[in-house]
Structures are given as C-alpha cells and as structure tokens.
C-alpha cells in the first residue's frame, strides 16, 4: 500500500487551517535547522532558543500568509528566524559573549585532533561574534545553511547585491580577525 508523505508545504497548508498535529510535525522538520541558524545569528544558545520559540509561534499564527509560489517553507522559516534574532538584538542592544565550546568527549580516538578542531571552532565563533548581526546572518545562511544568494536576500529583506557586499565584508573581517589570532602572527 502506498503511503503519502507530508511535505513541509502540505503541512503548512494544514497548519493554516489550525491543524495542531500538522504543526507538531512541521516543528519536527524545522526545529533543528532553525536552531542552527538562530544560534549562529544570535551568537548565544539561550537567545537563539528564545528567537526560535518566537519564530515557531509566528509560523502557527501566520501560517496562512505563507505563499508556496514565493518560495519554500524552509526559506520562509529561515527569514522568520533571522528576523526574530535581529528583533531580539535590537530590543536588547547587548552583545552577549559566546559560550565556551563543549569539552572534548573522552571516547574520541584522537583527543589532540578534536582539541585542535574545537580550538578552531572557538576562534571562528569568537570572530563571528565581532561581526555585525546582518553580516553574521548572511555568513550563517550562505555558508552554514547553503542558502542561495536570493534566499539570503529574502531572509534579510535586502537585495542579492547587498548580500554580496555583506558577505565580502564579513569574509574580509573574519580573515583579518582569524589571521591576527594565530599564534605564529602574535609572536612576531
């Protein structure tokens, strides 16, 4: 017997009619990717979770506004998540420090390689925290989530050309910060 699989678009149509079960299923699809985006954009796990909760609430209350002709549910949701992060940042006007990276699990076969990877990730996260929020969002969506230039532009409510500029400046700033953070450049 052929079993139909609910796509995010069909789930969204059901959510628009008030179907709570469809919403629960849609949250299962959107939560992980949404938390990744929110964490990178917000720079803080707690802020990211709060922004994600806001975004999911908006999905429930504004589901009828979703237009599949304008894009995917994932792209629409990313825009909501980014906007929720930007809104929270504007309201708080705080620069939250990044949390320390998790400790290296003891069951890894090569603890030195894991420690080096964690150190690199901490340096990248620390450098990302110094970018402005829009640059951090653009980098996260484009490089971290694989969004297209048009999808990033839609999420940030700007043009693809403006996204190119954001990405270029962010890459230059990150490169400069990471280069100045290397031990071999500090010892000179």
pTM, 2 dp:
0.56
Query: Which comes out higher in pLDDT, residue 106 or 158?
Result: 158
Q: Of 96-110, 144-158, 164-178, which gets the smallest average pLDDT?
A: 96-110
105: confidence class by pLDDT, cuts 50, 70, 90: very low
The pair of structure tokens assigned to 3 is 């079993």
Across the range 6-32, mean pLDDT stands at 92
Indicate if the pLDDT at residue 153 is higher than 50. yes
Q: What does the DSSP assignment read for 87-136?
A: HHHHHH---PPPPPPPPPPTT-S-HHHHHHHHHHHHHHHHHHHTS-HHHH
pLDDT at 182: 59
The crossing angle, in degrees rounded to 10, of helices 45-62 and 20-42 is 140
Across the range 49-71, mean pLDDT stands at 92
Q: Of 83-87, 131-135, 180-184, which gets the smallest average pLDDT?
A: 180-184
Percent of the chain with pLDDT over 90: 37
Backbone angles phi, psi at 141, to 5 degrees: -70, -45
Across the range 162-174, mean pLDDT stands at 90
Indicate if the pLDDT at residue 98 is higher than 90. no
Burial 74-111 (b: 16+ CB within 10 A, else e): bbbbbbbbbbbbbebbeeeeeeeeeeeeeebeeeeeee
pLDDT at 61: 93
88: confidence class by pLDDT, cuts 50, 70, 90: confident
| Domain annotation for the chain: domains and CATH numbers | 1-97 (1.10.1740.10), 105-188 (1.10.10.10)
- 141 in Cβ contact with 151 (< 8 Å): yes
pLDDT at 185: 41
pLDDT at 124: 83
Across the range 130-136, mean pLDDT stands at 89
Backbone angles phi, psi at 32, to 5 degrees: -60, -55
Cα–Cα–Cα angle for 3, 8, 10, nearest 5°?
A: 65
């Amino acid at each position: 017997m052929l079993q139909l699989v609910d796509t995010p678009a069909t789930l969204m149509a059901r959510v628009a009619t008030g179907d709570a079960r469809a919403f629960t299923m849609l949250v299962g699809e959107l939560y992980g990717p949404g938390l990744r985006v929110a964490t990178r954009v917000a720079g803080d796990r707690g802020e990211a979770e709060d922004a994600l909760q806001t975004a999911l609430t908006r999905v429930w209350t504004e589901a009828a506004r979703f237009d599949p002709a304008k894009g995917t549910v994932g792209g629409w949701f990313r825009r909501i998540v980014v906007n929720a992060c930007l809104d929270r940042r504007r309201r708080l006007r705080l620069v939250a420090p990044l949390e320390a990276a998790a400790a290296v699990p003891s069951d890894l076969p090569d603890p030195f390689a894991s420690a080096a990877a964690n150190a690199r990730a901490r340096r990248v996260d620390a450098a990302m925290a110094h970018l402005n929020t829009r640059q951090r969002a653009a980098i996260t969506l484009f490089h971290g989530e694989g969004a297209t230039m048009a999808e990033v532009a839609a999420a940030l409510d700007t043009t693809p050309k403006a996204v190119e500029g954001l990405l270029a400046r962010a890459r230059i700033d990150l490169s400069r910060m990471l280069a100045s953070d290397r031990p071999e450049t500090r010892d000179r």
